[in-house]
Structure 1
Amino acid sequence: MTSAPDQPSHAARVPVELSKAYRLLNHGPTVLVSAAHGGLRNVMAAAWNMPLDFNPPKVAVVIDKQAYTRVLIEASGEFVLSVPPVALTHQVMAAGSQSGKDLAQDKFEVCGLQAALASSVGAPLVEGCVAWLECRVLPEPEMAQRYDLFLAEVVAAWADPSVFREGRWHFARDEQRSLHHVAGGAFFTTGALVQG
């Protein structure tokens, strides 16, 4: 049994219109996927994720059959995608390189991550991130079984106002930039905005 997430600190989050929620993932960041069920919680890193639709907003994420987070998602029907910045690179690597089912203690604690309460789902948000999408799984069991692909509707979306304003990313400091996994533990970060 794990402790409940800390109370949310909304000073570091502002709501994002659901019609613009896809923009939180449209630049292709690595995400932290968190889930909870029956007093247990877990978190994992996932590079294969994407927005799917605008209204209602939907996302897709690949979650391997061996992942403990998947067990909790299948049981609860919910998850959160948190977009970590460069400042959390070591925690992202830790979350992506070990399984919660093999750990004797809470994976959030092992990885040095803090949890916060979500507004619409039971899965926790990951503190220190720059965006959060609260998701409910769409019933596509054959797709999940065959391709490990989970589709979900975004029911709430949040962003750190210092980097996401007026529906756009504005990275002022390098440590706030999102991570983009390119295999073998290597990441790129976002560059400067180019207006077309």
Structure 2
Amino acid sequence: MDVTRKNVDLSRATRLLNHGPVTVITSAHGGRSNVMAAAWSMPLDFDPPKIVVVIDSRTLTRQLIEASGVFGLQLPSVGFARQTLAVGSNTGEGLDKFAAFELETFPGQKIDVPMLVGCVTWMECKVIPDASQRHDLFIGEVVAAYADSRVYTDNRWHFDDPDLRTCHYVAGGTFFATGEAFEVEPAPRAAQA
């Protein structure tokens, strides 16, 4: 299936994570690359756009990110959940996860990291050096963001195809698909006392 990746305005990039989905992190340095799932990520700031992700100090992904200073953050769809579980359940030490799980990639726009076909959004991030890394937190400035136009256009999600919904990881191989959208009218402002 032909996927059209459309750039997302960087001032709106953090909207891609606002609903709390599981993410997949890609990294590369010195001829090695790796991919891992990360359930703990969130938007941090708008201008410039920043995200936070937790990456354990014992992982190959962590080593590669610390060496390169960059990483890719992608949102997998329901149709990519099996691969998400696989890359999150296996170590990259001694295993080429891209080959083992037949993951198709394409090059990043602004960073030298493989990005995953099969996801619905992609963010390319540069690490902002910070003392929080000793707590396994990485702050990344989003330098490029793009999304599958079948699910994200005009700064809005639209999940018409159930297989293209983002997902949320719980534990033990259990995921939840992002649910139905609904809107409410804002409450009137309360009178100031």
Root mean square deviation, CA, Å: 1.1
Structure 1 residue 17 corresponds to structure 2 residue 9: yes
| Structure 2 counterpart of 1:187 | 175
**Among 96, 106, 109, which residue is 2:99 paired with?**
109
Q: Which amino acid aligns with 1:46?
A: A
User: For the residues of structure 2 that align with 1:173 and 1:134, how far apart are their CA atoms?
Assistant: 25
Aligned equivalent of 1:165 = 153
Q: How many residues align?
A: 183
2:60 paired residue number = 68
Letter in 2 for 1:143: S
Residue 176 of structure 1 corresponds to 164
Which structure features the higher share of helix residues? 1
Structure 2 residue 20 is the aligned partner of structure 1 residue 28: yes
Q: TM-score, normalised by structure 2?
A: 0.92
Q: Return the letter of the residue paired with 2:72.
A: V
Give 2:123's match in structure 1, choosing from 123, 126, 133: 133
One of 120, 138, 147 as aligned partner of 1:150? 138
Q: Which residue of 2 aligns with 1:89?
A: 81
Which one is further off, 181-190 or 165-174?
Answer: 181-190
Gaps of 5+ in 2: 185-193
Query: Post-superposition shift, 1:195?
Result: 1.2
The higher radius of gyration belongs to 2
Distance 2:74 2:116 in 1: 6
Of Structure 1 and Structure 2, the greater strand share is in 2
- In the other structure, the counterpart of 2:188 is none
Within 1, Cα distance between the matches of 2:91 and 2:3?
A: 32
Amino acid at match of 2:128: L
Residue 184 of structure 1 deviates from its aligned partner by: 2.1
Structure 2: how far apart are the matches of 1:49 and 1:187? 16
Residue identity opposite 2:132 in structure 1? M
Q: Partner letter of residue 73 of structure 1?
A: I
CA distance in 2, matches of 1:123, 1:153: 15
Aligned counterpart, 1:48 = 40
Question: Unaligned regions of 5+ residues in structure 1, if any?
Answer: 1-9
Indicate the SS of the match to 1:193.
coil
TM-fit CA distance, 1:111: 2.0
Percent of paired sites with the same residue: 50
* Structure 1 stretches of at least 4 aligned residues deviating more than 2 Å after TM superposition: none
Shift of 1:11: 5.2
Aligned equivalent of 1:119, options 96, 103, 109? 109
